[in-house]
Amino acid sequence: MSGEVPNVSFNNGRCMPSIGLGTWKSEKGKVTEAVKAAIESGYRHFDCAWCYNNEAEVGLGINAKINDGTVKREDLFIVTKLWCTHREPGRVEMALRDSLDKLGLSYVDLYLMHTPFAFKESDEICPRDADGNVLMSDIDYVETWKAMEPLLEKGLVRSIGVSNFNLEQMERLLKTDGLKVKPVTNQIEVSPYLTNDELISFCKDRGVTITAYAPLGSADNPAFQSVKDRPLVINDPVLQELGRKYGKTAAQVALRWGIQRNTSVIPKSVTPSRIKENIQILDFELTEDDMKVISNLNRNFRACSFPFVPQHKYHPFNTAGQNGESSKNKI
């Protein structure tokens, strides 16, 4: 079970490594070294986004390891995302080129629409009015998607996909008349506490893979600052017991569960030892019974629910705590 990281196959014939490094909330002063450490530990998949405000620092790490001969560009799988303020069709390519400039790359392997909802056109990450309210836009994600498709022909991206889309939104996009390109993946929150079975099954049945963000929960999420006794995946006694059984940590067990479900997992860390630990999950395999035990830990707990975003016709999560698997709001 040891060796190279396995791939997840896309509907366009390309593929993506099933383990990647997430870079959300990775500090500018640390993320460059984190990327270098990850490449040295065997990572080839890096998940970025314009709104993380650290693409330039991620790019420094990537290019340092290309320039010193550790890897070639074609060995790497780089993902970035189209943010909510760049959804007007005329801004889509401009936004991608800005990300490419910051990353120091001529193309990315995967470009994702970050959310189905949009903010008012702006160069700010989160434009607000005088009262502090987020300025939303009604632009249709289908129109944005159509503007993403030509990026493939221009060679700026290899594949395109979406993120944070619920089941109904995925269904609507896939049924769009004139759709030229099917999303290759839907990047959503998935962990033993949010198994997202319904949405995962729906996507896989239609040839859309799943990229699992926050696969260990999201302990440093700002939304947790006022939450007492917050549920942390790595502290779960069942996962810890399974870790002892396999000689692994609870985190490694949770990540192994993720890749055995044929999803791609992108744990975030800037600590070299933790980065290395998170990829050391290829030398064991969970039994079918243990996979079921972990799946039964589901509590529909969503760590990333966009609580700062007003309820909007394209908000992907429901209003009852925003922890359900998919929105009950029709689109």
Residue found by looking up tokens 């502090």 in the block: 132
Sign of CA dihedral 208, 169, 299, 273: positive
**Rounded to whole angstroms, what are the CA distances from 148 to 1, 81, 159?**
38, 11, 10
Q: Are 60 and 93 in contact (CB under 8 A)?
A: no
Q: How far apart are CA 15 and CA 35, in angstroms?
A: 21
Q: How many CA atoms lie within 13 A of 59 on its CB side?
A: 19
Active-site annotation holds for 52: yes
Nearest to 80, CA basis, from 57, 44, 107: 107
* Structural element, H or E, at residue 151: helix 150-153
Query: Pick the catalytic residue: 52, 141, 213, 314?
Result: 52
Q: Residue length, the chain?
A: 331
List residues with catalytic annotation: 52
